[in-house]
Structure 1
Amino acid sequence: MRKTIVAGLCGLGLTLMAGSAMAADVVLKLHQMLPPQATIPAKSLQPWADKVKAESGGRIEVELYPAMQLGGKPSDLVDQVKDGVVDLTWTLLGYTPGRYPKSEAFELPFVATNAEATSVAFYDYYEKHMKDELKDFHVLTVHTHGPGILHTIASKPITSLESMKGVKLRGTSKVINQMLEAMGATPIGMPVTAVPESLSKSVIDGTVVPWEVTPSIKIAELAPNHTSFSGKHGLYTATFLFAMNKDSYNALPDDLKKVIDNNSGRELARQFGRMMDEGDARGKAIAEKAGNKLIVLDDAETARWKKAGEPVTANWIQDMDKRGLDGTTLYKDAVALVEKESK
């Protein structure tokens, strides 16, 4: 009996030693605002975490915390990663208005095309213009979503510029809210996670979000009118940051830094953008299957919206100039980079 107990204890000890040997050297906490089934969490962040684990031989473990599980508001995410409350975050730069003004060039009316092209363009723009703005982070990549769509409740379809008058629309950022106001709407700022309840309680009449996020926030059933524009340019986009705490990165040994570096940068921006585009196709298909009203404004009407958006761009350039930045150059570079990648 004693031999059996000793043998059992020895076996348990070997099991514990094996388990300890297999434990990760580094555990990184990734915090973000959307549910795990949303496009980027499911199609980009989880695969990224799995790839980092595999390429590090299991020495890096990334723990994913979706839907603000670690506390705070979506606008807190940049400070959580900057201050080391979490190791990694994926977030919307527009949740902190005015803090990253150079990024706003991509939010201006009719700058963006599809998400893949615009994301690569935004990464190149970051490399050229934004490293000072994002100096508090170890940037893994930046990206955008695809052409922005207007989604509205059944009684308020957007069929022309005139139909925007007084419509309460949730906006994603300062610039997008200014654009909505210039086009006649009443902008209401809130994080995307608040949209379903706000629609169901008639706090808002609609929202600006890309197709890809619509399934996770029930847009097809809550806002069955979907308005888009002729041509390859969308009305707006939003800019995203995928970043690591600088101390968390600097604490890694060189070989693990290389794993992170190999899973960062321009091609990661392309991959995130591609997943956004594929998500757009899925979200649009759900709305079509539901029999919703998909409205595409014709060339003449789209031209009217472009004209209405020009003062927003002019005011943004003027605001950048007042900050000591060259607004004209920033805007022209954003447009040129998007056009280059969209050919």
Structure 2
Amino acid sequence: MKNGLKTLALTALAASIASEGFAEEWNVSVWGKRRAFTEHVEKLAELVSEKTNGEFTMNVSYGGLSKNRENLDNISIGAFEMAQFCAGYHRDKNRTITVLELPFIGVSNLEEEVAVSHAVYAHPAVQEEMAQWNAKLLMTSPMPQYNIVGTGDPRTKLADFEGMRVRATGGLGKAFEAVGAVPTSVTSAEAYQAMESGVVDTVAFAQHAHLSFGTINQATWWTANLNPGTVNCPIVVNIDSYEGLSDEHREALDSSVDEAIAHYLDNYGKLLAKWDEVLAEKNVEKVMLPEEELAAFRAKAADPIRAEWIADMEAQNLPGQELYDLVMETLKKERASN
């Protein structure tokens, strides 16, 4: 009799667990504060929780879990399940995605940035490299072309960049170096202090970061049309954690990516629409460099840096030319579809 009651109790418990589902809680490491750059992560967490009736939740931590430059390392050891990082923080660990940080590759809006990023993320060589860090690329954090803010007299000619100390990482840093500037890769969180203390003269950021990290508050001018390129900052998940999800929870995560990106694009679009108002409010001069100066910048930075990058990748048995061609082909398809 006792055995029968025990069996009934266990059956009831199993049925209860099955009906309630298995609770899954992920920790997500980002940095700074909630801003346009993290809105897709916040939206993803919201959508996943909704789709699973609260069974799958994500705790988004702004710097409480890891330093931003250590997020990929900590994903690799499973310290948390999801993280954001930028390729320029550790180019040797994510060589293949740095194709997206080459200067002047011609991306003109956020939709194109999403298209080229996700095409590159889907390439087998890219996935294989990221798997070495136990990381699966989930989605990008699309950013517009970087532009610089500075103090003092505006830099309106390429000659003005000679000796200019600029906060710029990755391919952008190389581009500025090619025209005589001195790049430094202080983190985004350190940029304001670096500018305030005179460690750098100028800071290259997308608009949201100039706002979030306060560099716009020190600026007297902003280059509206320099557009040398941008940085690529993926959202990755720990492969073991991803594969350990139930089919239902994995579907909830995968199916929420497109909607999270759409939310990000809508939110960022509103910020860009108000950017001129921000400049006026803060009394920041909008600088437009002459086309001949921009052409000279592209001639010095674009072709030589691209050729060097491709040669370097091929020397490491990575498909550099193929990845660059993929970016160009994706841009062409994206524009044709629109």
Q: TM-score range by the shorter chain?
A: 0.7 to 0.9
Distance in 2 between residues matched to 1:339 and 1:229, nearest whole Å: 22
Letter in 1 for 2:56: I
Query: 5 Å matches for 1:180-259?
Result: 180-229=176-225, 234-259=227-252
Distance in 1 between residues matched to 2:224 and 2:256, nearest whole Å: 34
The root-mean-square deviation of aligned C-alpha atoms, in Å, is 2.3
Query: 5 Å matches for 1:13-24?
Result: none
Partner of 2:251, secondary structure, is helix
Q: Assess, with a 3 A threshold, how the Cα gap between structure 1 residues 273 and 238 changes in structure 2: closer, same or farther.
A: farther
Query: 5 Å matches for 1:91-102?
Result: 91-102=85-96
Q: 1:166 aligns with which of 163, 166, 190?
A: 163
Distance in 2 between residues matched to 1:86 and 1:261, nearest whole Å: 18
Letter in 1 for 2:97: S
Judge conservation of contact 1:52–1:260 (CA < 8 Å) in 2. yes
Pairwise CA distance, 1:263: 1.6
**Which deviations, in whole Å up to 9, do the C-alpha atoms of 1:132-159 show, x marking residues without a partner?**
1222213221243111112212x14221
Letter in 2 for 1:27: E
Pairwise CA distance, 1:245: 1.3
Q: 1:103 is matched with which residue?
A: 97
**Which deviations, in whole Å up to 9, do the C-alpha atoms of 1:271-292 show, x marking residues without a partner?**
5455444433444531232221
Task: Establish whether residue 123 from structure 1 lines up as the match of residue 118 from structure 2.
Answer: yes
Aligned-residue identity in percent? 19
Q: 1:85 is matched with which residue?
A: 79
Pairwise CA distance, 1:97: 2.1
Pairwise CA distance, 1:115: 1.8
Q: 1:291 is matched with which residue?
A: 283
Pairwise CA distance, 1:177: 1.6
Name the TM-score, length of structure 2 as normaliser. Answer: 0.85
Distance in 2 between residues matched to 1:340 and 1:320, nearest whole Å: 25
Q: 1:29 aligns with which of 27, 30, 35?
A: 27
Which shows bigger deviation, 56-65 or 319-328? 319-328
Judge conservation of contact 1:29–1:86 (CA < 8 Å) in 2. yes
Could you list the structure 1 runs, at least 4 aligned residues long, displaced by more than 3 angstroms after superposition. Answer: 21-24, 266-285
Q: Assess, with a 3 A threshold, how the Cα gap between structure 1 residues 24 and 239 changes in structure 2: closer, same or farther.
A: same
Pairwise CA distance, 1:318: 1.8
Distance in 2 between residues matched to 1:151 and 1:339, nearest whole Å: 31
What stretches of structure 1 of length at least 5 have no aligned partner?
1-20
Distance in 2 between residues matched to 1:279 and 1:78, nearest whole Å: 29
Pairwise CA distance, 1:40: 2.5
Pairwise CA distance, 1:123: 0.4
Judge conservation of contact 2:40–2:261 (CA < 8 Å) in 1. no
Q: Assess, with a 3 A threshold, how the Cα gap between structure 1 residues 339 and 84 changes in structure 2: closer, same or farther.
A: same
Total equivalences in the alignment? 313
Q: Assess, with a 3 A threshold, how the Cα gap between structure 1 residues 137 and 94 changes in structure 2: closer, same or farther.
A: same
